[in-house]
Amino acid sequence: MSILFDDIVFGPVKSRRLGVSLGINLLPVDSKLCNFDCIYCECGWNGSVSRPRFGRRIEIRRALEIRLKEMNESNGSPDAITFSGNGEPTMHPEFAEIMSDVVELRDAYAPKAKVCVLSNATFVHREKVFEALRKADRAILKLDGGRDETVERMNCPQGDYSVALAVEKLKAFEGNMILQTMFLRGEYRGQKIDNTSDEEVEAWLKAVKEINPKEITIYSIDRDTPAPDLQKVSKEDLEKIADKARALGYKVQVAG
């Protein structure tokens, strides 16, 4: 079963990676909206909404302020404020302005909290999106493989997307970003998918070296996926992949 966030601000949820994290969903609350349609997306497949209703900037600001005040009053403060939710946050037309609001509210109510963004990085060519992502303490950006065929099968991107293009966009961060990669095995529409083979991992490592991220997070599926025939990669296998990147000097976290 997929999970849709039915509110603008949700949580806090506790994660090993981000600690106590308050989530912000800029996207419609009744369907997923993304320019990818990853076969493993926890929000399910893209909805068929003709005119998506993005959260309004003023409402997002208000909802976050109320929640941060409440947390302050109960002597709790989040470790992270994370843009995630029902799709790709940088698709919001006012993503940059909302980022400024979030940073301002963080400074006022939860100065120790890290502002994090989970993004597929496809809108980084827009100057405002790029600059906004650079304001985040942790820009956690997706690249699921080093071969076009693999990312095509895993991410089902709309429009132009290739590993070369993605690498160029990620290189623009000059290392100040966290690379996030999903590893899985299985089958979708009669085609085998396995981005854990030696050949696949080699291609991924080549992309990693070009991007040169300050940190890498790798993970596998944890819940039901929209494509039914996918298998979770074991922690042990993920650690083996992580070790290959660690051997190149990268800090790698296996999330699970």
Residues 72-131 that bind ligand SF4 (CB under 6 A): 87-88, 120
Which lies closer to ligand SF4 via its Cβ, residue 31 or residue 110? 31
Which lies closer to ligand SF4 via its Cβ, residue 54 or residue 109? 54
| Least distance in angstroms from the C-beta of 82 to ligand SF4 | 13
Residue that the structure tokens 């999106």 belong to: 129
Residues 25-44 that bind ligand SF4 (CB under 6 A): 34, 36-38, 41, 43
Residues 135-174 that bind ligand SF4 (CB under 6 A): 142
Q: Across-strand partners of 191?
A: 188
Which lies closer to ligand SF4 via its Cβ, residue 119 or residue 196? 119
| Least distance in angstroms from the C-beta of 33 to ligand SF4 | 8
Which lies closer to ligand SF4 via its Cβ, residue 132 or residue 184? 184
Please write down the HEC assignment for all residues of 30-64: CCCECCCCCCCCCCCCCCCCCCCCCCCHHHHHHHH
- Go through 211-227 and write b for each residue having 16 or more CB atoms within 10 A of its CB, e for each that does not: bbbeebbbbbbeeebbb
Q: Across-strand partners of 115?
A: 81
Residue 196 Cα to chain centre, angstroms: 20
The residues of the shown chain that bind ligand SF4, judged by CB under 6 A, are: 34, 36-38, 41, 43, 87-88, 120, 142
